[in-house]
Amino acid sequence: MIRTAVIGLGTMGTGMVATLARAGMAVSAYDVSADQRANALPAISAANQVLNALGMPDKGGDVAPRIVDSLADCVADADLVIENVPEKLDLKVEVLHQIDALVSGSCVLASDTSGIPITKLQADVSAPGRVIGMHWSNPPHIIPIIEVVAGAQTSPETVSWMVETVTGLNMLPVLVKKDVPGFVENRILYAIMREAVDLVEKGVIDAESLDTCVSWGIGYKLAVVGPMALLDMAGLDIYQAVGSYLNEDLCARKDVSALIAEKTGRGDLGMKTGGGMFDYTPEQVGELRAARAKKLVAVRRALET
């Protein structure tokens, strides 16, 4: 049995814990915040309900995840530690450094970073060969892909072990061949996000209609026909013709838009604070999560056929 420790129980941590436990791993989890630790078990239980709806085999039996109040206790005896703290380079380097001092020489240190190059995260660790990117997608218990990313010093054995481990979770490992910022998934997502925010900011479309356009247009289509296959479906001549006047007009700003900077500056971070691009009551947050999970389960079922 693989013993896994999850560090950070925010948006990503609890669904991850449910997925790992479900696959038969012994899971312990830690968050620096007592509130987050207190809220973790109900969130893990909600994720488990979704895994039931997905028909995921339960290899975990009676072994419930342990939520602990010290990092040392959490990672003691772990074969795999998944770092899942906020996306700040210094914080991640510090947390990995602390974990490194607490684990055995064979423990794999994985990071769920959204796109910080793994080469930067392994620089301050005693055995950099065991550090690897394990990038889940939100909600982590529903979206089946996990990007596996080697840094410059990651060993081939760690990469093979991670690919096998991800497969054992009933997830789809996607091996990223170069340690580029954002890996693959977020390079694509952030190209879309930059253009989407720019269109709303410029008043070309309102936020709600933008979502309708993307979800029922390219979102729906790309789930079935990936971008490379879509080129062939549309015709490369069409892409050549449209790209030759459109590419130069697309948003190419290097900073993050003022609209987002203003909102984050005010603490409007989205569902976790009750307001972001849209507003939410606590009840609506719960209802939206459940409704979206139900739809994602149905779509995944349909796509798997």
Residues making up the annotated binding site for NAD(+) are 8-13, 31, 87, 92, 114, 138, 272
Q: Which of residues 244-283 bind ligand LTVM2SF3 (CB under 6 A)?
A: none
Interface with ligand NAI: number of residues (CB under 6 A): 23
Stretch that binds ligand NAI, among 108-116, 164-172, 176-184, 279-287 (CB under 6 A): 108-116
Q: Is 215 in the site for ligand LTVM2SF3 (CB under 6 A)?
A: no
Min. distance of Cβ 152 from ligand NAI in angstroms? 20
Stretch that binds ligand NAI, among 30-38, 45-53, 199-207, 235-243 (CB under 6 A): 30-38
Q: Is 33 in the site for ligand LTVM2SF3 (CB under 6 A)?
A: no
The entry of ligand NAI, ligand LTVM2SF3, none near residue 186 (CB within 5 to 8 angstroms by kind) is: ligand LTVM2SF3
Q: Is 36 in the site for ligand NAI (CB under 6 A)?
A: yes
Among 52, 104, 138, 273, indicate the residue that binds ligand NAI (CB under 6 A): 138
The entry of ligand LTVM2SF3, ligand NAI, none near residue 185 (CB within 5 to 8 angstroms by kind) is: ligand LTVM2SF3
Q: Is 186 in the site for ligand LTVM2SF3 (CB under 6 A)?
A: yes
Per-residue binding letters, 95-114, with ligand LTVM2SF3 (x by CB under 6 A)? -------------------x
Among 29, 31, 44, 200, indicate the residue that binds ligand NAI (CB under 6 A): 31
Phi, psi of 227 (to 5 degrees): -55, -40
Min. distance of Cβ 22 from ligand LTVM2SF3 in angstroms? 20
Q: Is 33 in the site for ligand NAI (CB under 6 A)?
A: yes
- What is the DSSP code string of the chain? --EEEEE--STTHHHHHHHHHHTT-EEEEE-S-HHHHHHHHHHHHHHHHHHHHHT-----TT-PPEEES-HHHHHTT-SEEEE---S-HHHHHHHHHHHHTTS-TT-EEEE--SS--HHHHSTTSS-GGGEEEEE--SSTTTS-EEEEEE-TT--HHHHHHHHHHHHHTT-EEEEESS--TTTTHHHHHHHHHHHHHHHHHTTSS-HHHHHHHHIIIIIHHHTTS-HHHHHHHH-HHHHHHHHHHHGGGS---SS--HHHHHHHHTT--BTTTTBSSSB--HHHHHHHHHHHHHHHHHHHHHHH-
Q: Which of residues 60-89 bind ligand NAI (CB under 6 A)?
A: 84-87
Tell me the HSE value of 182 on the side-chain side, using a 13 A CA sphere: 8
What are the C-alpha distances in Å from 188 to residues 84, 85, 219, 233, 297? Answer: 22, 23, 13, 20, 23
Binding site for ligand NAI (CB under 6 A): 7-13, 30-33, 36, 84-87, 95, 112-114, 136-138
Binding site for ligand LTVM2SF3 (CB under 6 A): 114, 137-138, 185-186
